[in-house]
Amino acid sequence: MSIRARALRRAVKAFVVGPEATLEEQREAMDRVDKLPRPRNMDYTNVTVGGIDGLRAKPAGLTSDRHILYLHGGGYVLGSPLSHIGMAARLARRAAATVTVIDYRLAPEHPYPAAIDDCAAAYEGLLAETQAESVCIAGDSAGGGATVATLARLRATGSPRPGCAYLISPWVDLTSSGESITTRAEADPMIDAAFIEDVAVQYAAETPLDDPGVSPLFEDLTGMPPLLIQVGDDEVLLSDSTRLADKARAAGVEVELEIADGMWHVYQAFARYLPEADKALDRAAIFISAHTRASAARSQGSVLQH
């Protein structure tokens, strides 16, 4: 673990907004991440894709049609394009791709399946701009779970599957049956079991927590595109990733699982400040570039540009 990682680990816990804050305060705190400098040499625009609003980042001068549809985390109750555009843009710049972070509906105002409805609609809308094999669907935490649930929805509706999917600390088991919920409880500075259990109920509402649409760990994973799963060894959702990888491989899916020693939940969010996060996004860009088609030559921006 790097010296910066040790320092950040201590700082993260101190700045996490506790459950005593109202939902609105928690949402505002998460969106304040956008007050940090966004990556430079990127064009940022507000867009609507498939009827879903979003925020788009594109490397200046990019001519490739490679596209990342990014589904933000936040337990399905927090987060927005503002909270995640910085990390998404850093990924897009490395992969020489355009990224669109969508503003899917949040619980408890809009419980399941509203978020997945919006994610699927955005993907379908994106196909008017580029071909499926040029698209990577990516997401962190709840957004990682939403990615798997969206892939299952697209398969059920007969939509063309994307070139690949990139999952960061995916939350795919809302029943909290994984052993790391307990064994990593003291190690993860970002989230805890109480938060997970609370927002799971808010999101699922009347749907059972083990329904495959809510908890895609229990979904049939046959026919999924290649998956890259990155997770920290010190996070409560570690078991979600390891079980998902095992189940996907058993279904014949191409899977790459990376477990980062000493890292916590969605450590990739600290790219630019944390060497481990920069390297994780570098590897993700290589994976995305290898599994998506870019039909036009790239001008600015190429793989592994920071």
Residue 302 lies in a domain: no
In this structure, the chain runs to a length of 306
Catalytic site residue from 67, 180, 215, 235: 235
The answer to whether residue 190 sits within a structural domain is yes
265 assigned to active site: yes
What per-residue confidence (pLDDT) applies to 34?
A: 94
**Over pLDDT 70: what percentage of the chain?**
93
Above 80 in pLDDT, residue 4? Answer: no
- Please tell me which residue in 141, 215, 239, 289 is annotated as part of the active site: 141
pLDDT digits over 142-194, tens only?
Answer: 999 999 999 999 999 999 999 999 999 999 999 999 999 999 998 988 888 88
Task: Check residue 5 and give its pLDDT.
Answer: 77
Q: What is the CATH number of the domain that holds 38?
A: 3.40.50.1820
**Which residues constitute the domain of residue 150?**
3-291
Question: Which pLDDT score is estimated for 15?
Answer: 57
Average pLDDT over residues 228-233: 98
Is 235 one of the annotated active-site residues of the chain?
yes
pLDDT tier for residue 304 given thresholds of 50, 70 and 90: very low
Assess if residue 94 is contained within a domain: yes
The stretch 61-87 carries a mean pLDDT of 96
- Residue 239 in any domain: the answer is yes
pLDDT at position 299 is 35
Q: What is the pLDDT of residue 10?
A: 67
Which has the closest alpha carbon to 156: 223, 77, 94? Answer: 223
Of these residues, 265, 276, 289, 291, which one is catalytic?
Answer: 265
| 6 pLDDT more than 80 | no
Count of domains for the chain: 1
Mean pLDDT of the chain: 92
Report pLDDT for 302.
Answer: 36
Does residue 304 lie in a domain region?
A: no
Q: Is residue 305 part of a domain?
A: no
Q: Which pLDDT score is estimated for 301?
A: 36
Kindly state whether residue 296 falls inside one of the protein's structural domains.
Answer: no
pLDDT at 295 (0 to 100): 75
Percent of the chain with pLDDT strictly greater than 90? 84
* Residue 297 pLDDT > 60: no
pLDDT score at 303: 40
pLDDT confidence of residue 14: 57
pLDDT (average), residues 234-242: 97
Residue 296 has pLDDT above 70, yes or no: no
